[in-house]
Structures are given as structure tokens and as C-alpha cells.
Amino acid sequence: MISGSCLCGGVQFEISGELAPIQICHCSQCRKAQGSAFATNTPVRESNFHLLSGRDQIGSFESSPGKQRCFCKHCGSPVYSKTDKLPGVIRLRAGTLDGELAVKPEAHYYVASKANWYCIEDELPQFNEWRL
């Protein structure tokens, strides 16, 4: 099991099974939602996501049709997003996970809309849009 939580600890969860590689998204919506240059997400099957506490503290915002961004209503931490385009999958924010992770980032996505003040300086593949 891999554990995680929001900043205040009100939302706590566990993930069963292995994590998928981390996806780094530079789209303008992720930048706004994270308040940062990018979002770091790992796709998780909803059946492997086990909420331990804080169900009533999770708020959501529909940032585009069919896409919900879920966060802690108390501390504001983004926790995960989900979209109708990927039923049964959540995109968990990697920064909410505790401890050392066995997975690493796989690629940068939506680099055509990345913040002009951020330089990508690693050797990961870069894509102008989403690729499965």
C-alpha cells in the first residue's frame, strides 16, 4: 500500500497495487489549478484508490466539460482529477503521496503551452499534446 494525504491531513488515502509512471502536464489549466509551472500526476484505477478519511472534505470543480478537479475544502490541496474520457481512472497528484516512490516521471505533456519562465532541463520526452 502507498499512502497519501492533503496538506492538513484531513483527506487521507491509500493506493493498492503499483503506480503508473508520473506524467508532467504543462497545460494552462493544470498550471492555474496547481499554482505552479506544471502538475505531476499518476493515473490510478478508482478501484485501487481507498479513501481512509475526509470524504466530506473533498470538493470538486468542473474545469472543463466532463473534467472534475478534486481538492481538500479545508486546506485547498489538489488531490486528484477525473474525466469522463478515462472512466474508472483518477489522476492522483503525485505530490500528495508519502515516502519514496518506485516510479519516476515518464514525459512532459502540453509543452506548447508551458510557462515561458520555466525551462525544461531534463531528458524526458516532450509532447505538445496528450499521448496515451
CATH number (domain holding residue 23): 2.170.150.70
Full domain range(s) for residue 62: 2-113
Give the pLDDT confidence of 78-103 residue by residue, as tens digits.
Answer: 999 999 999 999 999 999 999 999 99
Is 55 part of any domain? yes
pTM of the complete model? 0.92
Is 95 part of any domain? yes
Long-range contacts (CB closer than 8 Å, 24 or more residues apart) made by 66-74:
69/33, 71/6, 72/6, 72/7, 72/8, 72/10, 72/11, 74/6, 74/8, 74/10
Is 120 part of any domain? no
Q: Kindly write down the DSSP assignment for every residue of 106-129, as one continuous string.
A: EEEE-GGGS-TT----S-S-B-SS
pLDDT at 116: 96
**Spatial CA neighbour of 23 closest among 84, 111, 118, 100:** 111
